[in-house]
Structure 1
Amino acid sequence: GSGAFGSCIGLTDVTIPDSVTEIGGEAFESCIGLTSVTIGKGVTKIGYSAFSGCNKIKTLNINCKTVPYLGMTSLKELTLGNNVNEIEREAFRGCTGLTDVIIPDSVTEIGKSAFKNCSNITSLTIGKGLTTIHLGDTDYSGDNQKTPFNGCNQIEKLDINCKIVPRLNIKSLKEVIIGDNVNTIDKDSFSNCTGLTNITIGNNVTTISDNAFSGCTGLTTLTIPDNVTKIGERAFNNCSGLITVTIGKGLDHYESWSFYGCNNVKTLNINCKDVKDVGFKSLTELNMGNNVINIWVYTFRNCSLLTSVTIPESVAFIGAYAFDGCSNLTTAIFKSNASWKLESYGGHINIQEELENPSKAAQYLRSSASHCSWTRN
């Protein structure tokens, strides 16, 4: 009950068994010797100031469904059990001793400012159960002062596996691992994480939303797995450090603005059905897979550093001006030259014989013939 063990200064460890349903107000107030607390899964209510003044608690193992604010700011080790569903508002605010936090799969909701100013967390793992994360006065208010991890300025690694990856506003990240349970990376999730150098995108992600990685200037390599079907507007806007980009076969919706400002990409490996212009004008190496069918208009226009290209047998359409202005393109290898023809104002012009010679084929791609669409049966 209320004040049951108040000021029991000799207590060092407390275990609340699963059978207990309520911890009364001030139950352990001023138990200044407490260093370790375990709270079982049966607790449904923890009273006001239950652990007030317990300033030496270093370890908390907690397994009740809802974790409230406990005021244990001296924590160094936190274990959240698999019975925990919700971490309430400000639950661990100001726990500067925490360095590693694991949110188990059972957690579905994290409240506003739940880990605010836990300034020494360096590694964060979020399980697959998370469905609600409160960002501000409403879930989508954008009030950065109330995001669950506001003030956590040392988090360098994030391992996240919930279905929708939300905007967490953790700008100190260097590594992000997005698990195979994830299907959507939400709008602005990692925007302006300028120190981010390594991202792993899970095999079941289908959507990378608008501005998801916008301004992540530290990224040098990007791999979009086969299951990704959509990349939103400015998803990788101004990722100016990117050098190598690999795009899998599943992508069917992306925009010219998806990679706006990625001006230093040298190598593109692409295997989606439709290859479109995304502004990679610094390309020196282009590898197209056997899933590519259409190379659309202007796609590689003015890629003046490109010297060679191989057109897979799967390609059936090359849009007008696709390789226009590729002034250093000297070799073009067509894996199949059969049935290729130019769509000109005068009708069809068969060019399959000219394409047998890689040098002549390159000349066709970059010359006035590039002003026509190329098709094959």
Structure 2
Amino acid sequence: MKKRTLKYLFLIAAIMFCVSSNTKVQAASDFVIKKSGQEYILTEYKGRDTTVYVPKKVTIINGAFKNNKKIKKIVLSDKVDSIYDGSFDTLKNLKEVVFSKGLTTIEKGAFRKCPKVKSIKIPKKCKYIGDYAFAGLSGLKSIKVEKGNKSFKVYKGALFNSKKTELICYPRKYSGNKVFTVPKTVKVIASYAFKDNCYLEKLI
């Protein structure tokens, strides 16, 4: 009886593993990937899944998900190094983006008209974030920076570069302050940094 029970348990575990694995496998035909030198650039996603796992070989996202109405979650593979302008453009149902560990660059205007994303976490290796990269996240409540990142920090809810000489983004739906004083160290305030914030009453 014990051997039979163990066989059944093993069979169930194997089925569950297969099912969970299949949720991460998507048809290659769903992705348009162009090779340029050593780079593999994802330019279009044609599938209909609500959760998208970017193929492992992709190194750059370039406008791949524009105007998709079905996607709720996107998981970038660890080789993705850069996200180009407009890559996440008008994704009205997108709720979550899991950035890759190897991500170093988020270009200006990467996110546009993505109202349901509430939180963004900047990975450890990220070194560059362009102007209004997150301006299109109208529902953004918080920005976090992974421990060990040497290029960015969060102070009183706002995203700065590490030396606090540039204020990059103050999340639209961040409710932690009614009054915000820009630190004296700041020399540059990025375009649309305070765009349409719902809670700020005074900015110094």
Q: TM-score w.r.t. structure 2 length?
A: 0.59
Corresponding residue number in structure 1 for 2:85 = 210
Give the Cα–Cα distance (whole angstroms) in 2 for the partners of residues 229 and 266 of structure 1.
23
Instruction: Quote the offset at 1:183 in angstroms.
Output: 1.1
Distance 2:171 2:34 in 1: 46
> Which structure has the greater CA radius of gyration?
1
Q: Structure 2 stretches of 5 or more lacking a match?
A: 1-24, 178-183
CA deviations over 1:231-269 (Å, ceiling 9, x no partner)? 223221111111011110222222122222212111211
| Counterpart-to-counterpart distance in 2, 1:320 and 1:296 | 5
Aligned equivalents of 2:89, 2:119: Cα separation in 1: 17
The match for 1:264 is 139
Residue matched to 1:230: 105
C-alpha contact (below 8 Å) 1:228/1:251 kept by paired residues: yes
Distance 2:158 2:135 in 1: 18
CA distance in 2, matches of 1:273, 1:258: 19
Task: Indicate which of 47, 57, 80 corresponds to 1:181.
Answer: 57
Alignment root-mean-square deviation, CA: 4.1
The answer to whether the aligner puts 1:273 opposite 2:150 as a matched pair is: yes
How far does residue 181 in structure 1 lie from its aligned partner after superposition? 2.2
The corresponding residue for 1:54 is none
> Which residue of structure 2 lines up, in the alignment, with residue 306 of structure 1?
176
Please give the per-residue CA displacement for 1:321-344, whole angstroms capped at 9, x wherever unaligned. 87xx99x99xxxxxxxxxxxxxxx
Partner of 1:295, secondary structure, is coil
Q: Counting helix residues as a fraction of each chain, which structure ranks higher?
A: 2
Q: What is the Cα deviation at residue 215 of structure 1?
A: 0.9
CA drift of 1:320 comes to 5.1
The one of 162, 166, 170 aligned to 1:293: 162
How many correspondences in the alignment? 158
Q: Which residue of 1 aligns with 2:186?
A: 319
What residue identity is the alignment partner of 1:175? Answer: T
- Could you tell me whether the CA contact under 8 Å between 1:194 and 1:217 is conserved in 2? yes
Is structure 2 residue 35 aligned with structure 1 residue 126? no
What displacement does 1:192 show? 0.9
Equivalent residues in 2 for 1:1-377 (5 A)?
Answer: 124-126=26-28, 163-168=40-45, 170=46, 172-185=48-61, 187-271=62-146, 272-275=149-152, 293-299=162-168, 305-307=175-177, 318-319=185-186
Q: TM-score, normalised by structure 1?
A: 0.35
